[in-house]
Amino acid sequence: MAHVKPARARPVWLAGALALLAVVMIAGLLGGAADIAPWQVVLQVADWLPFVSADAGLTPVEQGLLYELRLPRVLLAAVVGGLLAMAGAGYQGVFRNPLADPYLLGAAAGAGLTTTVAVVLLPGSALTTPVAAFAGAVGGVFLAYGLGSAAGRTGGTATLVLAGVAVTSFLTAIQTFVQQLGVEELRRVYSWILGDVGGGWEQVRLVLPYAVVAAAVLLAHGRMLDVLAVGDEEAGALGVRATRVRFVVLLAASLATAAAVAVSGLIGFVGIVVPHAVRRLAGGSYRSVLPLSLIGGAAFLVLADLLARTVIAPAELPIGVVTMFVGAPFFVAVLRMTRGTAT
């Protein structure tokens, strides 16, 4: 029987990832038209902490700029990036395929379709958006899973990924049709499709409960995903119910994807880029991959948003364009590395 090493994320990697995230978030707070010194930003952030008092010397306008505009944007980018990266790692663990990703398995396309329907047919009802996104994400994944299973077992998880691509194309086509039914909402939907983390505190408060639940469930299943990696029979012998674990992780990863899509739109490739970088650096145990993907995904998307805001300043790139520039060549590299190994 294959031996499963019960490795946890090493403290040095967690500390390094958290330090990187802190630096990137401070940089995100610095990015913008207003020129605020880094030491003033650090002091102001410290002043926001409980039981800490620090005078950053900022004017009320500068304080409002940091608190009302930049801080919620940085936090939303961090939450969305962490959710997408964890969801990608979860899908890869369930399907045992390094190419599994919220956007390749139909989860993001399903969430995008149902959210578009909510925006066009139920405008102004923010409470319907996360519910619609979750239903679409779960539906997209299970549609891809059903289609891949119907195609036969000989293709393995590679067949599931191909089925996900087909489902994604189909759902995207329907989404495009729905957009045309609400021309007055087309600009909003188009902006949402390209990704946006500038929704403010309202969006941060909206996504946090879903993010906490999804992250807690995925982190709790890291050891079981390691056991699944050795095969279902071996997992059963170790007391792990493979079907139940897959179902729960799929739901949690779909909830993470839906929550991210509902507040930020379609931001691709985070779920492939970050987990693969983590595996290269810290090994393949999901007890390391999941928490480090959460932190690394947060840092990655905060940095991507910073680039989106500064590359063509004072204009702004959609954040999805930045992640595509990074993710597309990365995906090609992953595809070359895994060619002939997906089963």
pLDDT digits (tens, 9 = 90+) for 233-260: 777 777 778 888 888 998 899 889 888 8
Residue 309 CA to residue 319 CA, distance in Å, equals 8
Highest mean pLDDT among 63-67, 180-184, 229-233, 235-239: 63-67
Torsion region of 53: left, alpha or beta (phi above 0 gives left; psi -120 to 50 gives alpha): beta
Decide: 245 and 305 in contact? Cβ < 8 Å: no
- Cα separation, 137 vs 115, in Å, equals 10
Q: How far apart are alpha carbons 76 and 170 in whole angstroms?
A: 29
**CA 93 to the chain's CA centroid:** 15
Kindly give the residue spans of alpha helices, DSSP state H, lying in the chain: 11-30, 38-48, 60-64, 71-95, 107-121, 128-150, 156-181, 186-193, 201-220, 222-228, 232-237, 242-264, 270-282, 286-310, 319-337
DSSP code string of 154-204: TTHHHHHHHHHHHHHHHHHHHHHHHHHH-GGGHHHHHHHHT------HHHH
Decide if pLDDT at 338 tops 70.
no
Helices and strands (H, E) in the chain, number of each type: 15, 0
218 versus 182: the higher-pLDDT residue is: 218
Taking only the tens place, the pLDDT of each residue in 73-104 is: 999 999 999 999 999 999 888 888 777 788 77
Percent of the chain with pLDDT over 70: 86
Are 258 and 111 in contact by the 8 Å Cβ rule? The answer is: yes
Please enumerate, as own/partner, the contacts of 48-55 that have beta carbons within 8 Å and a separation of 24 or more: none
Sequence letter at residue 256: A
- Interval 283-321: pLDDT, tens: 889 999 999 999 999 999 999 999 988 888 777 888 888
pLDDT at 4: 45
Rounded mean pLDDT of the chain? 82
Q: Which domains are seen in the chain, by residue range?
A: 11-28+35-337 (1.10.3470.10)
pTM for the model: 0.85
